[in-house]
Structure 1
Amino acid sequence: MATKLDPWGAVSIDDYSKLFEEFGISSFEDLLPQIDDPHAYMKRHIIFGHRDYHRVVEAMKEKSPFAVMSGFMPSGRVHLGGKMVMEEIIWHQKHGGDAFVAIADMEAHSVRGISWQRCREMGIEEYILSIIALGLEPSATIYFQSECGAVRDLAFELAAAARFSELAAIYGFSGETNVAHMVSVMVQSADILHPQLPENGGPKPVVIPVGSDQDAHIRLTRDLAGRMRKFLVEEREGRISLRGKAAGTELIDAAAARLKEMGYRKVKRYEEHIDVFDALAKDSGRVEEAMRSLEVEAGGYGFVPPASLYHRFMTGLTGGKMSSSRPESHIALTEDPEEARKKVMKAVTGGRQSLVEQKKLGGEPEKCTVYELLLFHLSEDDAELGEVFDGCKSGTRTCGSCKKEAAERIKAFLTEHQREREAARERLPEYGLKG
């Protein structure tokens, strides 16, 4: 049965490798050796896939401009799943990227019916304070969709390039879907492309760290980014071809002139395209960047297709998917630390039915929510994780000892995080925000 990725519904994925074939997501494994100082999620194979992330890797190596962007819908308390995205944003910012954080209040209002006031309260109290507390630096751009005119204007432009039929195919929209919900999808595409607007430094690689359930937004936005381009640069046998998709006569003339300025002599101008016969395949990137710059000079966007990173979902403490709508399944960053400790002590593990069986057969850490807590959030020591895994598999480690250790760690983490959140409240003006 085909996998369904629904940005607003429940998604359960048993085999992440299926996404490579079904949705064209690339495996992250080949890129990992190229990354200096990889995030723990990368080393631990929690980040499993990507689209075009090699552009970002190249930018980090070359110390050229790039950005990281993601958004949070203020529809409930932020839990450890949201923390994963926050940490990925912060990691990229520390490695030279411009960070953009959207509070998706237009989405929450249109999809969940949450009032504007409540959206703002949750946006600040749940999400913004937590990401600042985790280490986001003040150079980041944090905004609410409803208050960002540039995003709303770009959403309008993108909507002119989108069709209802494709939204229906991607998201399952029907005649019963409210129009505001459709508009919110355009706003999310605008969020993703927003870091490439002229006021934000223009076209550059941008990575969107998300769970795989959000891939529909990435696919749509990549398509829209291509449609907003004036030129399509293609490698063809014996030449590089520039298709003037929506360039117009003057811009095609300017492109031909620019190519000659770049030193190409065999440039043939046709009515709607240009062929460069003395350009080699290795020149395509150079030509692409020249056309991108020309588009921006002419008032276009020159968007680079957004890249994305996909991380595995955390398992809920009660088994199944971690869900905001089921408090017993998750740990919120604003939760009482002692209550969180108790939840961990009650969590589903990968242990056997009895201690005798555990010692004889060993446990199944790959199915254990407590081990997952250590893997995703509560252990920075890979050697320690290896010992826990091996001890569980061999039956020498019991579920009780793991639970107790993880429970104390989650309590300590939340206690410290909530202290940092209160300090973050005083720093909101540094980020251009009021409490």
Structure 2
Amino acid sequence: MYVAMATAEPVGATPAVKSDIEDKKASQQQIDPYNVAGEVDEHGNVKAIDYDRLIHEFGVQPLTEEHLRRFEAVTGKKAHRLMRRKLFFSHRDFDKILDAYEQHGTFMLYTGRGPSSGSMHLGHTVPFLFTKELQEMFDVPLVIMMTDDEKYLHTRNKNEGHQKVGVAPEDFLDFAHENIKDIVALGFDPKKTFIYTDYEYLGGHFYRNTSEFESLVTFNQAAGAFGFGNSTNIGLIAYGAKQCVAAFPSSYPDLFGLKDYRGPDYPPEAKRRHKSLASIPTLIPCAIDQEPYFRILRDRCERMTDPHPKTSLILSKFLTALQGPGGKMSASDPNSAIFMSDTPGQIKNKINKHAFSGGRESLEEHRKLGGNPDVDVAYTYLSYFLDDDGELQELAKRYRSGELLTGEMKQRCIAELQKFVAEFQERRKKVTDEVMREYMRPRKLEFAGNPSPKQPKGPANGVEEASNGADADGEKAARDDGRGTKGERKAAKMAEKKAQKLAQRPKGAEEVTEGT
């Protein structure tokens, strides 16, 4: 199996960016939710990101050929090209999510986006394209979280507490709306997809999960996972709990036909979260820099009031920046990325001018020794977006032999990306505010899951429906005779017994409290 990504070999930068790295000091690679950078050697050369090292350091498992065979056996369909080419390369419990689907019929997909600009770039589309394929293959519900609040907090933290023009909360909410339209244009099914921004949606059962999860994470644990220090604002320190509990189906009762009561519509039975939703497993497709969030999540899933199964993850590599291995596309650097709003001319100019080449310094040397597709950015982009395995392998073979020149590889890449972006832009024109809001409306999603599970748990969505005033937990609405629910009557009886015991104590006796 050919792995179409950069190796750990040291490589130089393109002439356009040499001046930017010559002043860099030697440093180790750093990968976390807020930093993605390969190692820099003592000569200023940037090394490719070492994904084998990340597997070891993060404690994840490699995605193997056995996983692909199992995936194809369960779905009856060919594994997606990003899996076949090991661009989604590692996982946590991916085999268990396949088991759950085969046995019980369904799970929830969850992924997200931190909106930092008005247009997504190619790198942002990768996890969404893959997630869309998974949703279609498994016919399961999908939740997409837009972390506009986190991006605001992070940006203000970088600016040492100052709020600059154009980066207020309202600006990030605008970015989120534009990015949602980009995501919709990738072709997600509105019947089984829910997209929201944190600023607009948080509350209800979601916030109850958040509050409980915050109580399970200490400052030291958050600082260790995300690199926070004493000067980090408290909003950013607490934010991780939101991204974690966003993976809980119990945070979204509406999507499963149950009530997510929010004031002032708040009857007595709304006090409890829906325990039945806690049994639904979740799969998270995302880039590996987001893994620390879900490592914290997995360690605490089973400590919630309503224990949840450990979330499963399938993790991708980063789409290389135009300048080459050692970094990823960044919205803050226009010359590092192909944006989904770029014109055909801009795409052509960026690839020709900035794309790092795996070719030799002279035509004669290239013909003699051949090029290296492993570090060639144009080839790397083709490995993500060209569907034909045979053509991709032929391009690599011809490039290694010296038959295919760097300019020719770039031209093939330009043609493929221009086609992909142009088709996207045509769909994007049709995404109005009304279309966007339909995806953002809390409602029961329509999905079927596995048509023939071995041990079905109930209806197609895996959750017993609410009926006659009762939800899946068996909680009943208050009775007309005023007796209340069964749980309320039990609690009242226990309180009465406790009061009787206290009344029977000798006068002056002190109540012994926990911990004394």
Partner of 1:421: 428
- Ranked by relative contact order (alpha carbons within 8 Å, sequence separation 6 or more), the top structure is 2
Supply the distance in 2 between the matched residues of 1:46 and 1:405 (Cα, whole angstroms): 20
Structure number, greater radius of gyration = 2
Contact 1:67 1:195 in 2 (8 A): no
3-state SS of paired residue (2:217) = coil
Match for 1:219: what amino acid? Answer: R
- Which of these residues, 74, 95, 101, is aligned with residue 144 of structure 2? 101
Cα 1:119/1:44, change in 2 over 3 Å: same
Match for 1:307: what amino acid? Answer: S
Report the more deviating stretch, 363-372 or 29-38. Answer: 29-38
Cα 1:317/1:5, change in 2 over 3 Å: closer
Contact 1:102 1:191 in 2 (8 A): yes
Does residue 173 of structure 2 align to residue 120 of structure 1?
Answer: yes
Match for 2:70: what amino acid? Answer: Q
Match for 2:181: what amino acid? Answer: L
3-state SS of paired residue (1:424) = coil
Contact 2:147 2:198 in 1 (8 A): yes
Measured after TM superposition, the shift of residue 317 of structure 1 is: 1.0
Q: What is the correspondence of 1:2-81 to structure 2 with a 5 Å cutoff? A: 4-12=30-38, 14-29=49-64, 30-36=66-72, 37-62=78-103, 64-76=105-117, 77-81=119-123
Unaligned regions of 5+ residues in structure 2, if any?
A: 1-26, 39-47, 73-77, 157-166, 257-276, 443-516
Q: Deviations over 1:116-138 (max 9, x none)?
A: 2212211121x211221111110
3-state SS of paired residue (1:90) = helix
- Which of these residues, 196, 209, 213, is aligned with residue 289 of structure 2? 213
Contact 2:356 2:376 in 1 (8 A): yes
Match for 2:68: what amino acid? Answer: L
Q: What is the correspondence of 1:8-407 to structure 2 with a 5 Å cutoff? A: 8-12=34-38, 14-29=49-64, 30-36=66-72, 37-62=78-103, 64-76=105-117, 77-94=119-136, 95-113=138-156, 114-125=167-178, 127-138=179-190, 139-148=192-201, 149=203, 150-194=205-249, 198-201=253-256, 202=277, 203-228=279-304, 300-319=305-324, 320-321=326-327, 322-346=329-353, 347-377=355-385, 379-407=386-414
Cα RMSD of the aligned pairs, angstroms, is 2.0
Supply the distance in 2 between the matched residues of 1:423 and 1:198 (Cα, whole angstroms): 30
3-state SS of paired residue (1:310) = strand
TM, length-normalised to structure 2: 0.67
Report the more deviating stretch, 398-407 or 382-391. Answer: 398-407
Supply the distance in 1 between the matched residues of 2:29 and 2:250 (Cα, whole angstroms): 31
Contact 2:206 2:252 in 1 (8 A): no
Measured after TM superposition, the shift of residue 15 of structure 1 is: 2.2
Cα 1:65/1:79, change in 2 over 3 Å: same
Supply the distance in 2 between the matched residues of 1:41 and 1:423 (Cα, whole angstroms): 28
Q: Deviations over 1:60-103 (max 9, x none)?
A: 44461111111111112421111011112211211222100011
Match for 1:129: what amino acid? Answer: K
TM, length-normalised to structure 1: 0.78
Measured after TM superposition, the shift of residue 424 of structure 1 is: 2.3
Measured after TM superposition, the shift of residue 198 of structure 1 is: 4.8
Identity, % of aligned pairs? 28
Match for 1:329: what amino acid? Answer: S
